[in-house]
Structure 1
Amino acid sequence: MAEADPGTIERDTVSVPADDAAGPVTEKEPASRVWRRRALMFAIPLILIAAAAFYWAGLQGKAVTDNAYVQMDKVSISAEVGGKIIEVAVADGDTVQQGDLLFRIDPTPYQLQVAQANAAIATAQANVTALANSSDLSGADISAAQEDIAFAQANFARKDALYERGFLTKTEHDAARHAVAQAREQLRQAQARQQAAQAKLATGSAVPGENPQVAAGKAQREVAQLSLSRTEVRAPAAGRIAEADRLQIGQQLVQGLPVVTIVRESTPYVEANFKETDLADMRVGQRAKIHLDAYPDLELEGRVETIGAGTGSEFSVLPAQNATGNWVKVTQRVPVRIRLLGKSPRQLIAGQSSEVTVYTDEGK
């Protein structure tokens, strides 16, 4: 075996089968599929961008909120006089008109007050008649006192002359003088009684031509009659009854305590709480659309009637105090009142949730 040349390196050659050397055979992908995949890769982002742009453009000139509720004016009814309920004429859900009877309070105590006032008037009128016919007012006592004075003075003059001549004692002379003074005092008392009687019959500027005692009795009767009329509680406005379950026969009512509510369905409106950042272009009178959660297919038209004078938190029972070290800024909500245009074809209920869109590009 010949020696290898040291300057050369022998390599072993490995024979590879023809099939293995070729490797796996793949089919060539069609060009249409490649282009379709590339088109999708570019189209999806473009569609998303276009949709976002379309959505953003749709929001321009509008202010939308779903923090909105149907509201109606409510009248809380309370008894103006206290007493026991003896009749209830309404129930929850009833529709009433202005002046309809709601409930009645026991009138007996107030009927007695009217009778008591009538008695006081009769007493005052009797006193007036007695004073008008009394001797104090007629002047008879004054005339009698004046006659007594004249007689006492004449008697004193005679006794004074006898006393000067020494035919009368000093005691008798002093008694005659005392009789004159006593007669004058009786005249003064009679005149005082006449003035007092005239004062009792006098009329003041507040009630000219009528005795004050009689006028006081009539005023007392009017108060009693007013209280009696208030035992029948009637509807101050038309609407639907709510919370009537608190009216129970035999229940003792407290004056001024609300016991039933009338919801005025004739004047519904929507109170929408918009973010303060939505108010830059909002104006009174702008058009609005309302969609109710209860009636998805119903669309109502409205107008911005008022924009609140303060945020919702400003008028809360416990307003937020932001003067703290952990203060976090929160976007505030401002109540906006939307007046409905026309009558809704479906019944509206106070408190219904809704979505409001205000077109802020109008009326700028």
Structure 2
Amino acid sequence: MFKRYLLTFIIVSAAIGTLYSQYQTDLANPWTRDGQVRAHIIQITPRVTGQIINMMVKDNVLVKKGQLLFEIDPSIYQVNLSKAIASEKQAEALLDKAENEALRANNLEKLTPGAQSQLTLNNLQNAVETAQANLLVAKAQVEEANLNLQYTKVSAPIDGYITNLNYRVGSQVIANSPIVALIDASSFWIEGFFKETDLNDVSIHNKAQVTLLMHDSEVLEGEVQSIGYGIAKSDGSTGNELLPNVNPSFQWIRLAQRIPVKIKLTHLPKEIQLRVGMTASVQIIKH
């Protein structure tokens, strides 16, 4: 009987010791289950309006920087470029005419002083300057039309993953309206939200351990890259009828706010693919 009580006491003591040790570890090295995989996301936005005539990618695929994603119908922009080139040639001809008339008047004035009034000479010089300005405008219009024609081909600005692609050949796109997300393949990080009371003595380059919910058997190594400097307030924000929105709370309870901490993984196994929004647990090793 005594041995049974002794064995029970030893087991309970060991369990309490283990729990206490784990508690001390958690105090020394803060841990949170409130973590997510994040990455920089670029919104692919066409610069011109038109109908998609070629779609070179599919949804949820990896694309390389400079790879053609889709092409917008270029016909109207080709016509605009031809019009701009014609206007440029017309402006060049008008400039030549103005310069010739001014040169003829100046030469005549040199040969026969007083043959041309000063007003006429000034007007001819003004005509030359106006024609020069019109030529500059025409050249700018050609450049703009050429750029718009180039913008009908939309390419990937970086290496990344296309996601949420809902457009197909025949879809109409509008200039400066995003149509698909491109996740920067080189920008993945883990963002853990820690209680402010857990961040004492946490500093940049502290080691961190990350466990993904999707790969809970793998412990990923990382380090603290940055600690957030602010979060949005909930109390005092404008509610209905422009009144401040205040959440009810007990006066004797002060809840610790959660501060975002950015963790950069130092090594990622090849078999693990990070995806934005995945759930992660994060522990910061302070000591």
Identity, in percent, stands at 28
- Distance in 1 (CA, whole Å) between partners of 2:96 and 2:23 is 92
Q: Which moved more, 1:107-116 or 1:224-233?
A: 107-116
TM-score w.r.t. the length of structure 2 is 0.85
How far 1:39 sits from its partner (Å)?
A: 3.8
- Distance in 2 (CA, whole Å) between partners of 1:144 and 1:325 is 93
- Distance in 1 (CA, whole Å) between partners of 2:195 and 2:134 is 66
In structure 2, the CA distance between the partners of 1:74 and 1:61, relative to structure 1 (3 Å rule), is same
- Distance in 1 (CA, whole Å) between partners of 2:77 and 2:248 is 61
Paired residues, what number?
275
Q: Is the 8 A contact 1:287 1:303 kept in 2?
A: yes
The structure 1 residue matched to 2:55, chosen from 63, 88, 91, is 88
Larger relative helix fraction: 1
Counterpart of 1:249 in structure 2: which amino acid? V
- Distance in 2 (CA, whole Å) between partners of 1:128 and 1:37 is 111
How far 1:40 sits from its partner (Å)?
A: 6.3
Q: Is the 8 A contact 2:36 2:190 kept in 1?
A: yes
Q: Is the 8 A contact 1:90 1:244 kept in 2?
A: no
Residue 326 of structure 1 aligns to a residue whose secondary structure is coil
- Distance in 1 (CA, whole Å) between partners of 2:247 and 2:208 is 41
Q: Does 1:239 align with 2:166?
A: no
- Distance in 2 (CA, whole Å) between partners of 1:331 and 1:259 is 39
- Distance in 2 (CA, whole Å) between partners of 1:55 and 1:145 is 106
The structure 2 residue matched to 1:221, chosen from 142, 146, 153, is 142
Aligned CA-pair RMSD: 2.8
Question: Match for residue 326 of structure 1?
Answer: 248
How far 1:47 sits from its partner (Å)?
A: 4.5
Residue 303 of structure 1 aligns to a residue whose secondary structure is strand
Question: Match for residue 277 of structure 2?
Answer: 351
Question: Match for residue 75 of structure 2?
Answer: 108
Larger radius of gyration: 1
Q: Does 1:120 align with 2:87?
A: yes
Q: Does 1:281 align with 2:201?
A: yes
Gaps of 5+ in 1: 1-32, 148-186, 204-209
- Distance in 1 (CA, whole Å) between partners of 2:94 and 2:61 is 54
Matches within 5 A, 1:1-364: 33=1, 35-36=2-3, 39=6, 46-134=13-101, 137-138=104-105, 190-202=117-129, 211-245=132-166, 247-311=167-231, 313-314=232-233, 319-321=234-236, 324=246, 326-328=248-250, 329-345=254-270, 346-361=272-287
Counterpart of 1:222 in structure 2: which amino acid? E
Residue 343 of structure 1 aligns to a residue whose secondary structure is coil
How far 1:44 sits from its partner (Å)?
A: 6.4
How far 1:41 sits from its partner (Å)?
A: 7.3
Residue 249 of structure 1 aligns to a residue whose secondary structure is coil
- Distance in 2 (CA, whole Å) between partners of 1:108 and 1:123 is 23
TM-score w.r.t. the length of structure 1 is 0.68
Counterpart of 1:230 in structure 2: which amino acid? Y
Gaps of 5+ in 2: 238-243
Residue 258 of structure 1 aligns to a residue whose secondary structure is coil
